[in-house]
Chain A
């Protein structure tokens, strides 16, 4: 959710201008596959594992990881979507996106929930997501997979699976989709 929403939302509202492509589609696919392998390694047999994509940017990555897990282990893990809008600490600053729905069909209690997001930045979205998941039940553990870790954490949160560590300055913006990862700026 982080980057994409930030770009669409005042005071961030503006146009993303890419300066450089960090990963192309093939590289994104390889990174997703590697993360899937790491998830398998850490959670043998994928027993009780479920993926939860954060709205809206994390959802396609959750789907891509689930696809890779299916290829690697032949196991189809449940996927959910989570919108953390009502759990944010900056709730006054962002609009609620009507298309971003929460849909977690399986009970999370005693499950290993892998949260999936596109870009990890301050960690505030993940903080909100932890609260939101806890309100759905009591998972055995929660792990975090992100396509890009761009640094600048403001909370003691670290990812378990990272597609790409990307050093950035605060003024830069990252666009991460399943097609490409780009570094650039948002112009107003």
Chain B
């Protein structure tokens, strides 16, 4: 795996491999020294062109737990403010010799574009309305932790679906892992065409709330409130918010999830956020091992180069591209070395 740009590039086996790997890293994080030298010598740049606290902190911590060097780059102190183009910024960072860049950008597709301008691995930490792959992975991880698998679970994602990258990546990951996903929200905040989405639609949370294993609430963004697409806060809360009353109809075994930051009293009532079924803090906690798994997969064994052996012996992990590739050539190289030793 060279990049992680969209969950659409991953199949079920890839997803499960990442979740299994995250399980291992969760074990590392429980040790007295919660750090391994796996990515020693690798440099990871955090390029956040849009504000973020938890995603950035979580990626930063994940990289450090793997012993990578981390460089932070934020727009407020960068040349972007002075009018430098995205391409020039990326090429500049890239020229400093880095191994991976974690990108958050307000434009959909920016990470894929960036991947064409750099040799480094690109990890999407959220782009516009498009994708937020590590959020979907950590949500799947949190659900799998409770239910052991997602197969057959009924999951509702509720809120502003259209403007949500979390919804897009979560729908993809949840359904690939076998869950039934229903989207709920005001018509004005639904995507114009969901015919090719593998989901059911519901207009009211009350219709489906009793049968759910997971209630996933999206954040209502402040800027939507005045956009005309949005009803009043009071109306939103009464029809689509997880109120205390509505939470009473949710199964006692169900999970209540939210990607944060929450607007208590809008999409979720304050008491519901602290309900024993709420796993909102577990989601945050899952962020570090999941991002360790992604960084490790992108910078670690994924760069397998089969010809660094002599006589069945592994030496350094050089990544030269000009090494012999066919079995015959490799055999010849092996024989030569045998003669020397």
Contacts and interface: CB of A to CB of B under 8 A. Distances in A.
Interface string A77-113: 0000001011101111111101001100000000000
Given A135-B32, A136-B33, A86 B38 contact: yes
Given A91-B38, A91-B300, A98-B17, 18 more contacts: A6-B312, A10-B306, A11-B307, A85-B38, A86-B36, A89-B317, A92-B300, A93-B304, A96-B296, A98-B21, A98-B24, A101-B27, A131-B37, A135-B31, A135-B33, A152-B313, A170-B312, A170-B313
Contacts of A171: 311-312, 338
B20 interface: yes
Interface string B295-320: 01000110111111101111111010
A186 interface: yes
Given A90-B317, A92-B303, A93-B304, A12 B24 contact: no
Chain A interface mostly: loop
B28 to A, nearest CB: 7
B312 A173 contact: yes
Which of under 10, 10 to 19, 20 to 34, or 35 or more describes the interface residues of A?
A: 20 to 34
Interface of B: 17, 20-21, 23-24, 27-28, 31-33, 35-38, 66, 296, 300-301, 303-309, 311-317, 319, 327, 338
Contacts of B32: 135-137
Interface of A: 6, 10-12, 83, 85-87, 89-96, 98, 101-102, 122, 124, 131-132, 135-137, 152, 170-171, 173, 186, 188
B300 A102 contact: no
Contacts of A132: 36
A86 B37 contact: yes
A11 B27 contact: no
B217 to A, nearest CB: 32
A11 B309 contact: yes
A95 B301 contact: yes
Contacts of B20: 98
Going nearest first, the 7 A-B pairs with the smallest beta carbon separation are A86-B36, A86-B38, A92-B317, A135-B33, A170-B311, A98-B20, A90-B314
B313 A87 contact: no
A91 B313 contact: no
Contacts of A173: 312
Contact of A101 (B24, B303, B317): B24
